Amino acid sequence: MFGVLFTLDYEIHGNGEGAPGQLMVSPTDRMLEQFDNYGAKLTIMADVAEILKFKEHFETTGKDTFDYLKIEEQLKRAVATGHDVQLHIHSSYFKSRLVNGAWQQHWDEYSLADLPYSRVLEMIGTCKAYLESLLTRVDPNYRCHAFRAANWSMSPSENIVRALIEQHIKIDTSVFKYGKRNDRVKFDYTDSYSDLVPWPVDMEDVCKRDPDGALVEIPIYSELKNVWAFLTPNRVFRVFQASRHKHAKHRDLEDAPRMSGQKVSKLAGLVSFFKDKHARKLDFNQCTGTQLIKGLKRINREYGHLGKKLPVVSIGHSKLYTKINEKSLESFLDFIAAGGDKYSFAKFEDFDLKSLKQETIQ
Ligand SMILES: [Zn+2]
Distance from the alpha carbon of residue 12 to the mean position of ligand 1, in angstroms: 8
What does pTM read for this prediction?
0.91
Partners of 343 in the β-ladder: 2
**Distance from the CA of 195 to the center of ligand 1, in angstroms?**
20
Mean pLDDT for the stretch of residues 230-252: 59
Q: How far, in Å, is the centroid of ligand 1 from the Cα of 308?
A: 31
CATH for 334: 3.20.20.510
| pLDDT given for residue 274 in this prediction | 64
**In the predicted model, what is the mean pLDDT of residues 318-346?**
94
360: confidence class by pLDDT, cuts 50, 70, 90: confident
Q: How confident is the model at residue 301 (pLDDT cuts 50, 70, 90)?
A: very high
Cα(184) to centroid of ligand 1, in Å?
Answer: 14
Residue 136, judged by CB atoms within 10 A of its CB (0-12, 13-18, 19+), counts as middle
Vertex 271 angle, CA 269 and 275, to 5°: 115
Which residues are placed with Cβ below 5 angstroms of ligand 1, an ion? Answer: 9, 11, 150
Rounded Cα distance, 316 and 353, in Å: 24
Better-predicted residue by pLDDT, 257 or 284:
284
What is the distance in A from the centroid of ligand 1 to the CA of 8?
Answer: 9
Whether residue 223 has pLDDT greater than 90? yes
What is the distance in A from the centroid of ligand 1 to the CA of 307? 33
pLDDT at 247: 46
Rounded distance, CA 94 to CA 75, Å? 20
69 or 271, greater pLDDT: 69
Stretch among 142-156, 185-199, 227-241, 295-309 having the lowest mean pLDDT: 227-241
Which residue range(s) make up the domain with 273? 2-358
Our count of domains for the chain comes to 1
341 alpha carbon to ligand 1 midpoint, in Å?
Answer: 33
**269 pLDDT tier (thresholds 50, 70, 90):** low
- Indicate the residue type of 270: L
More confident residue, 209 or 275: 209
Cα-only R_g, the chain: 19
Give the distance (Å) from ligand 1 centre to CA of residue 266. Answer: 30
Instruction: Spell out the residues 6+ positions from residue 278 whose beta carbon is closer than 8 angstroms to its own.
Output: 178, 224, 225, 226, 227, 230, 257
Report CA(160)–ligand 1 centroid distance (Å): 16
Ligand 1 geometric centre to CA of 88 (Å): 7
